[in-house]
Amino acid sequence: MVRAFLKCVLKITTLLFFRVKVVGKENIEEDKPYIICPTHTSNWDPVTLFSFLKRKDIYFLAKEEIFANTFIKLIANKVHALPVKRGKQDTGLLKNCAKLLKESHIVLIFPEGTRNGIKKNGKIQNGAVLMSLMSGASIIPIGIQATYKPFISRAIINIGKPMSFNEYKENRGDKETLNMLSKKVMDEMVRLTNEKI
């Protein structure tokens, strides 16, 4: 009830402020597990995605620092947010996410690790690909085209087609394979961000 109310309020707010448009909704099918990998440039990104992605069973990975604030922690729990220790490989979290994916839920992770991570580092983290190889779930890249200037610019959520890496599942311990697949995901995220809509 609280989650549905929050989603409704935020959807109206972001639609009014940023005239949000979603492209490629058909790429996220019902009752299928996915790892969603959006680009990340603003604190508005998770709010917009929560508001406009239709599936109700999305679990958001968020930096653990936000859970220190009692109010934000309460909201985070209502939207199915899971704390992430940045800069470390959290085996327990990976196993939990793999379990959620095997139950046909969705896990949303910002693989850049920080805002504008691709621009800063020129790469993304390997966690999403590792989750995909552990669970068999496909990755859906998303390019967010937005400056989030209220009433001026339009925010576009450009949803890509699922990327399956099942043929590499036996190589999930190989760092070169993880890096190569992560680059494929990154390249598609960048393409979707730059695509003219």
Res 47: pLDDT:
93
Answer yes or no: is pLDDT of 44 > 70.
yes
pTM of the model: 0.92
Q: Report pLDDT digits (tens) over 66-120.
A: 888 888 888 888 889 999 887 667 788 988 999 999 999 999 999 998 888 888 8
The token pair at 5 is 């109310």
User: Does an H or E element contain 62, and which?
Assistant: strand 58-63
Phi/psi of residue 179, nearest 5 degrees: -65, -40
Res 148: pLDDT:
96
Q: How many CB atoms lie within 10 A of CB 115?
A: 14
pLDDT interval class at 186 (50, 70, 90): very high
Q: Report pLDDT digits (tens) over 5-41.
A: 999 999 999 999 999 999 999 999 999 999 999 999 9
> How far is Cα 83 from Cα 175, in angstroms, rounded to an integer?
24
Longest dimension (CA), the chain: 49
- Residue 166: burial class (beta carbons within 10 Å; 0-12, 13-18, 19+): exposed
Query: 123 or 110: whose pLDDT is higher?
Result: 110
Tell me the domain boundaries of the chain: 2-194
Interhelix angle 127-135/91-102, rounded to 10 degrees, is 50
Q: Which ranges of the chain does DSSP label H, i.e. alpha helix?
A: 2-18, 44-52, 70-78, 91-102, 117-121, 127-135, 175-194
Look-up: residue for tokens 């998303």?
A: 142
Query: Is the backbone of residue 84 left (phi > 0), alpha (psi -120 to 50) or beta?
Result: beta
Res 87: pLDDT:
66
Res 86: pLDDT:
72
Query: 153 or 160: whose pLDDT is higher?
Result: 160
How does the average pLDDT of the chain come out, rounded?
92
Q: Is 145 helix (H, G, I), strand (E, B) or coil?
A: strand
